């Protein structure tokens, strides 16, 4: 990322993804594909949100390999550390520090209303820990440290972004202009890819049923098999409409891959059954993912290169983050050590 004077300041983009499992087509179309495209136009800062991931219990060896896998996969998708910063959240300690501060400016009632908290605490009822509850203030810290103008995410994160704005505005209301209040940036198509097994639920990498998601690293035959098993309806007509969640979702995926509109897709499959349609969707996805998988295989076997990339990015991110954190601490009234 280049340094620029304030006059020619490019807008700042921040986003992050958790290394909580294998990255899915939902993550790819809802978030990653956008990140890659934004790199030329904006100053982009991206992170692997590993601190967020431990809100759900992780097995250490698996967690570590998920972090490497996610890092290599994002490079393979086209995140370029020559253009953007792409670091590991736990490497920049300002995230944890600002999160604590923001916890003290976030209300219990606000956090209780977060639907992700309600969903995840129902799903992990044996481990409803305080981190799961305060997850959004850590996310607010991630974003506010970089004075981000825009945050590209899938539709499920909109509520967290609204809370981030509220926290920023509340803090600014007390201490003056410290934080930039960010805007969400949500794609029109692909913002919400649904589960292949229950198309009323979002596709999620932490779903226990592997048939419900397509992983970006799934082998071609696995992808084809999962699409063939996808839940549809009994009308047997490729048409976008109410009560057709499964087909709507497959059409959304096909549209994200091919760039075709819903009307074009309906015309293409006029008179054809769901079997043909599912094969076409599967093949289009396989071809789209093939070059990404090839690049991934190179990166994942080059740990030295991965390290070079995440260290360089963490150093860059740390400078910006520390500047914001210092300002916050001073405004609140803390005494500086030096």
Residues annotated as part of the active site? 120, 202, 205
Q: Does 157 bind ligand LTN (CB under 6 A)?
A: yes
201-260 residues near ligand ATP, rule: CB under 6 A: 202-206
Q: Exactly one of 1, 12, 13, 18 binds ligand ATP (CB under 6 A); which one?
A: 18
Q: How far is CA 137 from CA 15, 38, 48, 127, in A?
A: 15, 25, 16, 19
Residues 28/72, Cβ–Cβ less than 8 Å? no
Q: Exactly one of 1, 13, 38, 49 binds ligand LTN (CB under 6 A); which one?
A: 49
Q: Which spans in the chain are helix H?
A: 25-27, 33-38, 50-53, 60-77, 94-103, 108-112, 115-123, 130-145, 158-175, 220-228, 245-258, 262-268, 274-300, 303-332
Q: Exactly one of 1, 12, 13, 18 binds ligand LTN (CB under 6 A); which one?
A: 18
- CA 313, 315, 319, 321 dihedral sign is positive
Please give the Cα distance from 276 to 278 (Å, whole number).
Answer: 6
Residues 142/16, Cβ–Cβ less than 8 Å? yes
Give one word for 333, left, alpha or beta, with left for phi > 0 and alpha for psi -120 to 50. Answer: left
Q: Does 199 bind ligand ATP (CB under 6 A)?
A: no
Q: Exactly one of 67, 143, 224, 320 binds ligand LTN (CB under 6 A); which one?
A: 143
Q: Exactly one of 50, 142, 149, 207 binds ligand LTN (CB under 6 A); which one?
A: 142
Q: How many residues does the chain have?
A: 338
Q: Does 136 bind ligand ATP (CB under 6 A)?
A: no
Q: Does 192 bind ligand ATP (CB under 6 A)?
A: yes
Q: Which is nearer to ligand LTN, 16 or 79 (CB)?
A: 16
Q: Which stretch binds ligand ATP (CB under 6 A): 40-48, 86-94, 190-198, 217-225?
A: 190-198
Q: Pick from 27, 20, 14: which is nearest to 52 by CA?
A: 20
Q: Does 324 bind ligand LTN (CB under 6 A)?
A: no
CA 324 to chain centre: 23
Least distance to ligand LTN from the beta carbon of 229, Å? 26
Q: Which is nearer to ligand LTN, 88 or 143 (CB)?
A: 143
What is the β-pairing status of strands 183-185 and 43-48?
unpaired
Q: Which is nearer to ligand ATP, 98 or 214 (CB)?
A: 214
145-164 residues near ligand ATP, rule: CB under 6 A: 153-154, 156-157
The residues of the shown chain that bind ligand LTN, judged by CB under 6 A, are 14-18, 49, 52, 139, 142-143, 151, 153, 157
The residues of the shown chain that bind ligand ATP, judged by CB under 6 A, are 17-18, 20, 24, 26-27, 30-31, 153-154, 156-157, 191-193, 202-206
């Amino acid at each position: 990322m280049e340094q620029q004077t304030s006059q020619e300041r490019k807008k700042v983009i921040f986003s992050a993804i958790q290394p909580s499992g294998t990255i899915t087509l939902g993550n790819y179309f809802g978030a990653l594909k956008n990140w890659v495209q934004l790199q030329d136009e904006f100053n982009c800062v991206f992170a692997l949100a590993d601190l967020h991931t431990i809100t759900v219990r992780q097995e250490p060896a698996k967690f570590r390999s998920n972090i490497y896998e996610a890092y290599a996969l994002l490079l393979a998708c086209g995140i370029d550390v020559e253009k953007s910063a792409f670091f590991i959240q736990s490497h920049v300690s300002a995230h944890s520090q600002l999160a604590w501060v923001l916890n003290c400016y976030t209300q219990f009632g606000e956090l209780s209303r977060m639907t992700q908290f309600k969903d995840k605490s129902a799903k992990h009822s044996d481990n409803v820990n305080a981190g799961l509850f305060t997850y959004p203030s850590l996310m607010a810290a991630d974003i506010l440290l970089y004075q981000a103008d825009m945050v590209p995410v899938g539709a499920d994160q909109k509520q967290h972004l609204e809370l981030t704005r509220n926290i920023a505005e509340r803090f600014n209301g007390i201490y003056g202009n410290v934080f930039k209040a960010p805007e969400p940036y949500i794609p029109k198509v692909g913002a919400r890819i649904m589960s292949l097994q229950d198309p009323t639920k979002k596709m999620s990498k932490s779903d226990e049923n592997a048939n419900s998601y397509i992983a970006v690293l799934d082998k071609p035959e696995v992808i084809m098999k999962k699409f063939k098993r996808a839940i549809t309806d009994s009308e047997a007509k490729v048409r976008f409409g109410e009560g057709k969640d499964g087909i709507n979702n497959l059409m959304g995926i096909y549209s994200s891959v091919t760039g075709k509109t819903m009307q074009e897709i309906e015309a293409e499959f006029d008179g054809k059954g769901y079997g043909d349609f599912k094969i076409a969707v599967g093949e289009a996805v396989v071809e789209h993912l093939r070059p990404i998988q090839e690049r991934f295989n190179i990166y994942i076997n080059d740990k030295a290169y991965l390290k070079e990339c995440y260290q360089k990015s963490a150093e860059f991110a740390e400078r910006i983050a520390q500047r914001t954190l210092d300002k916050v601490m001073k405004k609140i009234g803390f005494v500086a050590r030096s």
